[in-house]
Amino acid sequence: MTEFDLIRKYFTRPAPNALLGVGDDAALLKVSDDHVLAVSCDMLASGTHFFPDADPFMLGHKALAVNLSDMAAMGATPRWATLAIALPDADETWLERFSAGFFALAQQYGVELIGGDTTRGPLNLCVTILGEVPAQQALRRSGAQIGDEVWVSGTLGDAALALAHLQGRAALSAGEFAACALALHQPQPRVALGLALRGIASSAIDISDGLLADLGHILDASHAAAEISLALLPVSSVMRAYVTLPLGEQCALSGGDDYELCFTAPAVRHAGITGISARLELPLACIGKVVAGRGCIVHDAAGNRLNPGNAGYEHFR
């Protein structure tokens, strides 16, 4: 199978919302009037972001999901994506499963694959995603104000706990691992939430490297600090048994791979955000507030200040 056979068979789909999609030297796109283009790129490398024997369907899902999460954090509607993929060999069984996982999620969110590249090499996936957002409504990291509430969506820590189990740092039961593994292998991007937060959230970010690290990016960009409570963090029934233990605390605060949204909003928006939670059937938890200063202070249930250690994942630490 040649490179071009591979592209035609597994990665060429109709792209009716592009003026020109796969098959030329570049795609041609037209952005809606009064909108700007939101662009993000994420790379997943075998051995760093996933195990070499990862299920290809789930890997196809995750490769796109992590990019959709970036669109959600900007309040952008995802529209198009490109995929650059390095493959050790043209394994058609693997390609069939990977492309099925990728396109199942793409169809769910109306994303069209419009180009990319393939090459032989160690397994490596790089997706660039493009979306649209009204020019004055994009969510940014730099808008948090003193007095704003700090919110997170969904639950935190399950993906990190599942990874700890796979690495032998935790011993979960089969049922516990199955529940947590879904968060690790098939994260659910919060695109609908990002759209609903336009004009409401003062800042937003997706949680990929851990809550403390990513909230820290908001605080740095906004020149502010925050106080949050460990007891207010939303966790699953599995994580609830671990969150007061050192490993569980680390997973919830700085484990990463959550792909939930962390956002800030004025306190007067509290009821409106609760309404969004009910409408989307998505738990949203207020975990603290933005204060003057720098950095993030974490309190335990008794109000004592914690020292969590690592804020989150860093590739070159």
- Which of 110, 134, 158 marks a domain boundary? 134
- Identify the pLDDT of residue 177: 94
Q: How many helices and strands (H and E) does the chain possess?
A: 10, 10
Same-domain pairing of 23 and 75:
yes
Integer Cα distance of 7 and 1 in angstroms: 10
Same-domain pairing of 127 and 157:
no
Same-domain pairing of 156 and 279:
yes
**74-83, 182-191, 244-253: which range is least confident on average?**
244-253
**pLDDT surpasses 70 at 41:** yes
Same-domain pairing of 153 and 129:
no
The DSSP annotation for 196-234 comes to HTTTT-SEEEE-SS-HHHHHHHHHHHHT-EEEEEGGGS-
Integer Cα distance of 83 and 95 in angstroms: 13
- Which of 134, 165, 184 marks a domain boundary? 134
- Identify the pLDDT of residue 49: 86
Mean pLDDT across the chain, nearest whole number?
Answer: 92
pLDDT band, residue 154 (cuts 50/70/90):
very high
Integer Cα distance of 223 and 202 in angstroms: 13
pLDDT band, residue 315 (cuts 50/70/90):
very low
Residue carrying the six token digits 């609908």: 192
- Identify the pLDDT of residue 312: 52
Neighbours of 127 (CB within 10 A): 26
Please compute, for residue 73, the number of CA atoms within 13 A of its CA located in the half-sphere on the CB side: 26
Which strands, in side-by-side order, build the sheet including 295-299? Answer: 203-206, 261-265, 149-153, 284-291, 225-229, 295-299
Same-domain pairing of 129 and 34:
yes
